[in-house]
Amino acid sequence: MSEKENKAIHPENPEKLKDIKLGKVYKTAAGFEAVASTAKHILEEMNVSRGFIALQKLNQVDGYDCPGCAWPDPDDHRSSIAEYCENGAKAVAEEATTKILDPAFFKKYSIAEMSDWDDYKIGKSGRIAQPMYLPKNGTHYQPLAWDEAFKILATHLNGLETPDEAIFYTSGRTSNEAAFLYQLFARAFGTNNLPDCSNMCHESSGVALGEQLGIGKGSVKLEDLYEAEVIFILGQNPGTNHPRMLSALEKAHKNGACIIAVNPLPETGLSAFADPQSVSGMLGIGTTISNIHLPVKINGDMALFQAINKLLILEEEKEPGKILDKKFIAEDTHGFGEYKNHLMQQDLDLLAGTCGIPLSKIKEVVETIKYSNKIITCWAMGLTQHKNSVDTIKELVNTLLLKGSIGKPGAGTCPVRGHSNVQGDRTMGIYEKPWDWLLENLERNFGFIPPKEYGHDVVDSIEAMHRGECKIFMGMGGNFLSATPDTQYTAKALQQCDLTVHVSTKLNRSHLVTGKEALIFPVLGRSDEDLQNGEKQFVTCENSMGVIQRSQGVLKPISEELLSEPELICKMAIAVLKENEKIPWRKYMGNYDAIRDAIEVTIPGFEDYNKRVRNYGGFYLPNSAREGYFPTETNKANFSITHISPFHIKENELLMITIRSHDQYNTTIYGLNDRYRGIKNERRVILMNREDMDAHNLKHLEQVDLFNFSDGRERVARNFLVIEYDIPKQCVATYFPETNVLVPIKSVAEKSNTPTSKSVIIEVRKHSK
């Protein structure tokens, strides 16, 4: 049965497409065009002097942390010219824009009218400049004073039957200070309903690494990449999503590392890179990066690594003592015997067939890496968003354990995080399944008994709202509607709420698909100067490698009405919970050192926080796997037995990945081009293999509709253009968020509950009106 299509979320089912332009797929990433694109995006949003100030302080130790990705900055030396990339500059341009959404804007455009715009137009409209309120049955947002806004919030929250009827979502840009206060507020209010974007992102990595190594974070430092002999990059498109990683890979490659990219797509940055900061790079003369590209089938990674691991064990039998790290296995791991027995029963031809890489090629890879002892494995969303993601990640880690490649320089795990502080938010306790120690410390330090029952993660929150069990949704940043799966279903869930509240910088679709009443709380962004009592404040973030650094915005805020996130949370807490001497909200918002002191006594690893974070480059958090010990249940690193379960795709079905184009940041659309993939001026495309096009009787640039029929419900995304592309058979790729309507809410990864946005079963049919 088809659920009634909701117009507000389907303006992208357009009858008219844009005028698509196709070019060559790029071989080399970055270079001069990256510089030109940086300048264009900055100048479209602000004047030259604001743009100059913004870029000059980006990722500098006395500046602010890039609001783009979580890739680390060098510990020692920062380039004084540019310690950022093209896409970091786009993130800044988007945030630092001087276009303002004032009350006149909201008076002019109704919710219904704005809903007709595409995400690109919504995002480009400007920064939200004052608190806004949508009353019951209202057609337009109206401005209101902060005090009024807090009163509405407090009345709703305090009117709930239980605190568990509220949901407090967090996106990953929130600073450590704001995240700590936010979880404190939610728990003091009485709920662990603290879902976050991590639930849709690296949750599978956290679960896998936690069970296997005793720590949910990666183990390597940036310097380790320069020492590594082999670097695997799986399910990641760094040329677009972590461009500064390419400089590190270039250096690693020059130092002799063999770089192996595992990806269904031949992503541009993975083959060659032209450093825009060097002369040859500006001329487009690129350095080779990866030595080997393995075009796996979607979700073929577990089978590939089972094959690699089995072959490594067989090589050890041929050359005892030369291939595996027997000492490490004996002293530091658990379960090798059983693991080996299990692998020996696996059929190599079947594994090769499942991953789509010929056995001869896998053998070549094993030949190349078999004597290497310093291996780093990097991965991102191509691995975490499948049904069996947790086990797939465990199988990669098994390789590191066989080789003793963890807990020493040049080796280890490197889950490459997305949002710039997503890792820090979790460290601060943004987690629906709080650790016992956190609850104990909160009780001791803040004099209340925090709720013990686990809260809802993202998918559970949607289901609970859909059932009508949760009635208030608050988003600390992010774009919940567009980032989550099954858009129609999620829209209904949000629309059932009594109140939806978004703490935001920019307008997005979640502001248009609301509860019965809605509030928008506008806040300072990362690049904005934050003054409290006339004193400049800074916040701190944790990057993908566990470094805590300060971040201080430099730009004059576009409106005097904006609050910082810490100030906003304190004011919400005072309105909702009333004054409380054990939680001195006023002191916290007056001076962020006081928040850091509270973090220091609550979260391990933050000793001398205020002092150490003022040191050049900040400080590393302790990391047991990096230090070579594994606080798991067995007190050892655990080998894990994994089972492949090949997808059974019917002849008329295809397996779809939903990925990012070069011109977007998650649900924020910077532009309509995907330069490296040679696609311009259109996002409604489906990348398809020639043979599949023939089998489905589809021509290049043919208009099609995409369907998913899981759980007896029809989901449709209309009007896409077929593009012939180098992608394995039966695999197709589209951009997120346009195709999130097709991702079934019930299709989640085992153990991590992450939506399976990288294995969506679809049918492709010729477009019908």
Binding mask 134-163 for ligand MGD (x = CB under 6 A): ------------------------------
Shortest CB 731 distance to ligand MGD, Å:
8
Binding mask 320-359 for ligand MGD (x = CB under 6 A): ----------------------------------------
Shortest CB 370 distance to ligand MGD, Å:
21
Q: Which residues contact 305 (CB under 8 A, 6 or more apart)?
A: 392, 395, 396, 398, 399
Shortest CB 512 distance to ligand MGD, Å:
12
Q: Which of 648, 605, 601, 650 is nearest to 623 (CA)?
A: 605
Nearer Cβ to Mo ion (201/743): 201
Instruction: Indicate whether 671 belongs to the interface with Mo ion (CB under 5 A).
Output: no
* Candidate ranges 152-160, 219-227, 228-236, 706-714; the one touching ligand MGD (CB under 6 A): 228-236
Nearer Cβ to ligand MGD (164/267): 267
Instruction: Indicate whether 458 belongs to the interface with Mo ion (CB under 5 A).
Output: no
Nearer Cβ to ligand MGD (73/301): 301
Among the listed residues 123, 216, 418, 546, the single contact to Mo ion using CB under 5 A: 418
What tokens were used for 82?
């540019």
Site residues for Mo ion, window 183-202 (CB under 5 A)?
201
Instruction: Indicate whether 418 belongs to the interface with ligand MGD (CB under 6 A).
Output: yes
Nearer Cβ to ligand MGD (316/738): 738
Which residue's CB comes closest to Mo ion?
418
Distance CA 36, CA 232 (A): 31
Nearer Cβ to ligand MGD (429/566): 566
Work out the burial of residue 285: count CB atoms within 10 Å of its CB; fewer than 13 is exposed, 13-18 middle, 19 or more buried: middle
Instruction: Indicate whether 743 belongs to the interface with ligand MGD (CB under 6 A).
Output: yes
Instruction: Indicate whether 704 belongs to the interface with Mo ion (CB under 5 A).
Output: no
Shortest CB 197 distance to Mo ion, Å:
6
The label of the residue with tokens 């011109």 reads 663
Shortest CB 593 distance to ligand MGD, Å:
21
Instruction: Indicate whether 686 belongs to the interface with Mo ion (CB under 5 A).
Output: no
Per-residue b or e along 627-662, where b marks 16 or more CB atoms closer than 10 Å to that residue's CB: eebbebeeebbbbbbbebeebeeeeebbbbbbbbbb
By a kind-dependent CB cut-off of 5 to 8 A, residue 240 interacts, out of Mo ion, ligand MGD, none, with ligand MGD
The DSSP output letter for 200 is G
Count of chain residues binding ligand MGD (CB under 6 A): 59
SS (H, E, C) 415-426: ECCCECCHHHHH
DSSP tally for the chain: helices H, then strands E: 32, 33
Distance CA 759, CA 651 (A): 16
What tokens were used for 236?
């990641």
Among the listed residues 506, 677, 715, 718, the single contact to ligand MGD using CB under 6 A: 506
* Candidate ranges 232-240, 353-361, 530-538, 641-649; the one touching ligand MGD (CB under 6 A): 232-240
- Contact (CB, 8 A) for 749 and 206: no
C-alpha 222: how far from chain center: 19
* Candidate ranges 50-58, 112-120, 171-179, 347-355; the one touching ligand MGD (CB under 6 A): 171-179
Binding mask 654-683 for ligand MGD (x = CB under 6 A): ---xxxx---xxxxx---------------
Site residues for ligand MGD, window 239-268 (CB under 6 A)?
240-242, 262-265, 267
Nearer Cβ to Mo ion (201/245): 201
* Candidate ranges 414-422, 458-466, 591-599, 606-614; the one touching Mo ion (CB under 5 A): 414-422
**E strand intervals along 484-636:** 499-504, 517-522, 531-532, 535-536, 539-542, 547-551, 619-620
The β-bridge partners of 230 are 258, 375
What tokens were used for 135?
């009353």
Instruction: Indicate whether 298 belongs to the interface with ligand MGD (CB under 6 A).
Output: yes
- Contact (CB, 8 A) for 569 and 185: yes
Instruction: Indicate whether 245 belongs to the interface with Mo ion (CB under 5 A).
Output: no
Strand order in the sheet with 499-504: 142-143, 132-134, 517-522, 499-504, 472-476, 166-170
C-alpha distance from residue 441 to each of 241, 601, 715 (Å): 37, 8, 46
Q: Which of 30, 60, 81, 89 is nearest to 246 (CA)?
A: 30
Instruction: Indicate whether 424 belongs to the interface with ligand MGD (CB under 6 A).
Output: no
Q: Which residues bind Mo ion (CB under 5 A)?
A: 201, 418
Q: Which residues bind ligand MGD (CB under 6 A)?
A: 68-69, 87, 171-173, 197, 200-201, 234-237, 240-242, 262-265, 267, 296, 298-299, 301, 380-382, 418-419, 476-480, 483, 503-506, 508, 523, 525-526, 565, 657-660, 664-668, 736, 740, 743, 757-758
